Amino acid sequence: MRSIIIVAIIGLLGGNPPPSTSIQITGSAFDQKSKTPLIGVVISVKGTKVNSKTDFQGRYRITVNSTQSVLVAKAVGFVTKEIMVGQKSRIDFFMTRNLHEVVDQEEAPQPLQESMDRFAQGRHKSKMVTYDAVMSNQALPGYHEPGIKHNTESYSTIRENIFHDPTRNPLSTFSIDVDAASYSNVRRFLRQGQMPPKDAVRIEEMINYFTYDYPEPAGEDPFSVTTELATAPWNPEHKLMHIGLQGKNIPTEDLPASNLVFLIDVSGSMNSPNKLGLLKAAFKMLTQQLRSSDKVSMVVYAGAAGMVLPPTPGNNQQTIKDALNELQAGGSTAGGEGIKLAYKLAREQFIEGGNNRVILATDGDFNIGASSDAEMERLIEKERSHGVFLTVLGFGMGNYKDSKMEILADKGNGNYAYIDDIMEARKVLVNEFGGTLFTIAKDVKIQIEFNPQYVKGYRLIGYVNRKLNDEDFNDDQKDAGELGSGHSVTALYEIITHESESSSGLIKDIDDLKYQRIDRKRPGDGEGYNFSDEIATVKLRYKQPQGGSSRLITRTVGNESNNPDNLTENFRWSAAVASFGMLLRDSEFKGNATYANIELWARGAIGVDRQGYRAEFIKLVQTVDLMAQR
């Protein structure tokens, strides 16, 4: 009775404890030295059992009941860190490594969520290793993959396209490129706090990493063509011509049956979570997209090549995943033998009218067998004529061979992507599944003829490795790029008009020709040029996926520039990305572009960003801007 009375009195006096206030805290955990996100760090509220764990991007979310609460970040191999909440709603932890601590690999924070495959079953005999060994896959300055003594990454040399005088070079011809490997590879460097090598920056691949709001194709052609002309944002005296292609989007259920051969590098250089561990997670996601009408075979190569999964229906997903789980890394790299065996399987299981494709996943470090680029190219060119295409997925760092993989994909009528994290794997193999694996038009070429009445000089931005001879445009035997279901392709030309006063030195002159007559007439000169309302003519050729003869599409581009207030988000976004690429390359054509300007241009064109790719780009721009200020 006494206790009841006391409670009643406290209630009358207003003594009930006030209801607790919930405060949601978000943030990330980073390695203090490398500034890379840490996965698996336990964030807890001190003195309670409330806790959270950082995800595959190093992020966490937790709820506390007081501004006096203290958050504790704890990870094996790191010094434990405490921060009082106070008035903050975001708290980031920068963790200092304890280099002397011996850690259990099962508990150590991982660089990728899906690398918990434990690399491969039974691969590590001892679980006790130093923390440096566990985290050796992290992108640290000077980092080399296990077993790699020197950084041997290789990239093809890129010499930027220069301005051409249309009175001497009226045509510009190139093959389309839907690859996006350069963007994700550049992102990898920037996340490490390092500037990428200039030759790693292929501007057309950075532009084409993003999707654009082009109209769906109508009629018989499998893609639409859109053009736009306006002032170049990095040089107000120049024009920028934007060309956009939009491939027809075919629903997954209507896509033709697939005959896929997974060709997986399990050599010793793949022995790391951001290589084989991430690779296996990526292929598991791809497997979940397959149907009963599809079939999958699996070939691996290390010191030798062999088949580890015979042709299996796509809906038998557990069998495919079990085969992936069994993969282990070790040995040298018989890449040539692996490719031969994969193509042999693809031909044996060939589906008429279907999607017959080898998917090569590797760091590109071939060193035994058919290893020369020329030999590989001839092999893959021969196989593509049989209707088997090639997709190349690149993984890892330290010994990454971008130059070799780009060539193989180009020659194999396929595409090339660099997988730097699990979200990129989802983008390539889930979100863009049709565009990555299903070709709707092959040997797509573009040829532009510029009108010298208005154009003093022009240059193609990017596509350095995709340029063709003008005669190749009408040659149906000449290979070119492929367009996938739902994919878009964007190309930009910077144009100097006759009114420009800042073009001195940009257009390289040559001596007058002795045996040829060149008329250099301008507006008002009278005779010389017709079509005064056109600045250029755009011509495209393409073939059906199984066709041998090309079809021609022609469009003209008017001379009138769009009002700056009416520019599409497509134009403004692609211009911002191109500017970013030029700054990363320290291009002589970068004009007045700055990282701050690029951020403003991009923010004004972010549009509908469902997957957050454009927001991520803006963060990269901010990152480089901060790096440049150091």
What is the pLDDT, as a whole number, of residue 528?
A: 52
Average pLDDT over residues 508-521: 72
- pLDDT category, 545, cuts 50, 70, 90? confident
What is the pLDDT, as a whole number, of residue 408?
A: 85
How far, rounded to the nearest angstrom, does the alpha carbon of residue 174 sit from its chain's CA centroid?
21
Tell me phi and psi for residue 374, to 5 degrees.
-60, -40
Is CATH 2.60.40.1120 correct for 20-95? yes
What is the pLDDT, as a whole number, of residue 367?
A: 56
What is the pLDDT, as a whole number, of residue 536?
A: 96
Cβ-contact 391, 475 below 8 angstroms: no
User: Within a 10 A sphere around the Cβ of 166, how many other Cβ atoms?
Assistant: 22
Average pLDDT over residues 304-318: 92
- pLDDT category, 366, cuts 50, 70, 90? low
What is the pLDDT, as a whole number, of residue 517?
A: 62
Q: Of 158 and 522, which is predicted with more confidence?
A: 158
What is the pLDDT, as a whole number, of residue 522?
A: 52
Average pLDDT over residues 288-300: 94
What is the pLDDT, as a whole number, of residue 10?
A: 37
Going 609 to 615 to 620 to 622, the CA torsion angle's sign is: positive
What is the pLDDT, as a whole number, of residue 520?
A: 53
Over 80: is that where the pLDDT of 287 sits? yes
Q: Which residues contact 380 (CB under 8 A, 6 or more apart)?
A: 339, 390, 408, 411, 412
Average pLDDT over residues 199-220: 95
Residues 252-279 have pLDDT tens digits of 888 999 999 999 999 888 888 889 999 9
C-alpha distances (whole Å) from 383 to each of 82, 84, 333, 347 are 59, 63, 21, 9
Average pLDDT over residues 571-587: 97
The mean pLDDT of the chain is 83
Q: What distance, in Å, lies between the first and last C-alpha atoms of the chain?
A: 72
Least reliable range by pLDDT among 45-59, 307-321, 579-593: 45-59
Q: Of 271 and 140, which is predicted with more confidence?
A: 271
- pLDDT category, 148, cuts 50, 70, 90? very low
Same fold, 20-95 and 252-437: no
What is the pLDDT, as a whole number, of residue 630?
A: 67
Is CATH 2.30.42.10 correct for 171-250+440-510+528-628? no
What is the pLDDT, as a whole number, of residue 531?
A: 63
- pLDDT category, 501, cuts 50, 70, 90? confident
Q: Which of 487, 494, 583 has its CA nearest to residue 201? A: 583
| In the chain, where the domains are located | 20-95, 171-250+440-510+528-628, 252-437
The first and second tokens of residue 284, run together, are 């598991």
- pLDDT category, 336, cuts 50, 70, 90? confident
Cβ-contact 569, 588 below 8 angstroms: no
CA atoms within 13 A of residue 369's CA, in its CB half-sphere? 19
Q: What is the full DSSP assignment across 192-204? A: TT-PPPGGG--HH
Q: Which of 209, 216, 203 has its CA nearest to residue 174? A: 203
Q: Which residues contact 525 (CB under 8 A, 6 or more apart)?
A: none
How far, rounded to the nearest angstrom, does the alpha carbon of residue 295 sit from its chain's CA centroid?
27
Task: Cite the beta strand spans of 249-340 per DSSP E.
Answer: 258-265, 295-301, 305-313
Cβ-contact 366, 388 below 8 angstroms: no
Q: Find residue 584's DSSP bridge partners.
A: none
Over 90: is that where the pLDDT of 136 sits? no
- pLDDT category, 521, cuts 50, 70, 90? low
- pLDDT category, 624, cuts 50, 70, 90? very high
Over 90: is that where the pLDDT of 31 sits? no
CATH topology classification for 252-437? Rossmann fold (3.40.50)
Most confident residue range from 40-49, 150-159, 505-514: 40-49
What is the pLDDT, as a whole number, of residue 104?
A: 36
- pLDDT category, 575, cuts 50, 70, 90? very high
Least reliable range by pLDDT among 198-202, 219-223, 237-241, 471-475: 219-223
Residues 403-426 have pLDDT tens digits of 888 888 888 878 899 999 999 999
Q: H or E element: which one contains 207?
A: helix 203-207
Least reliable range by pLDDT among 258-262, 321-325, 405-409, 427-431: 405-409
CA trace torsion 212, 218, 220, 223 (10° rounding):
-10
What is the pLDDT, as a whole number, of residue 141?
A: 32
Tell me phi and psi for residue 186, to 5 degrees.
-60, -40
Over 90: is that where the pLDDT of 134 sits? no
What is the pLDDT, as a whole number, of residue 112?
A: 32
Residues 68-88 have pLDDT tens digits of 999 999 987 678 999 999 999
What is the pLDDT, as a whole number, of residue 622?
A: 94
Over 50: is that where the pLDDT of 168 sits? yes
Over 70: is that where the pLDDT of 525 sits? no
User: Within a 10 A sphere around the Cβ of 189, how many other Cβ atoms?
Assistant: 18
Task: Cite the beta strand spans of 345-452 per DSSP E.
Answer: 355-362, 389-394, 416-418, 439-450
Cβ-contact 266, 328 below 8 angstroms: yes
- Under DSSP, the state recorded for 428 is I
C-alpha distances (whole Å) from 585 to each of 163, 196, 368, 453 are 17, 9, 34, 32
> With left for phi above 0 and alpha for psi between -120 and 50, is residue 4 left, alpha or beta?
alpha
- Alpha helices (runs of H) in 390-470, residue ranges in sequence order: 402-411, 422-426, 433-437
Over 70: is that where the pLDDT of 488 sits? yes
> What is the model's pTM?
0.75
- Whole-angstrom distance, CA of residue 55 vs CA of residue 564: 42
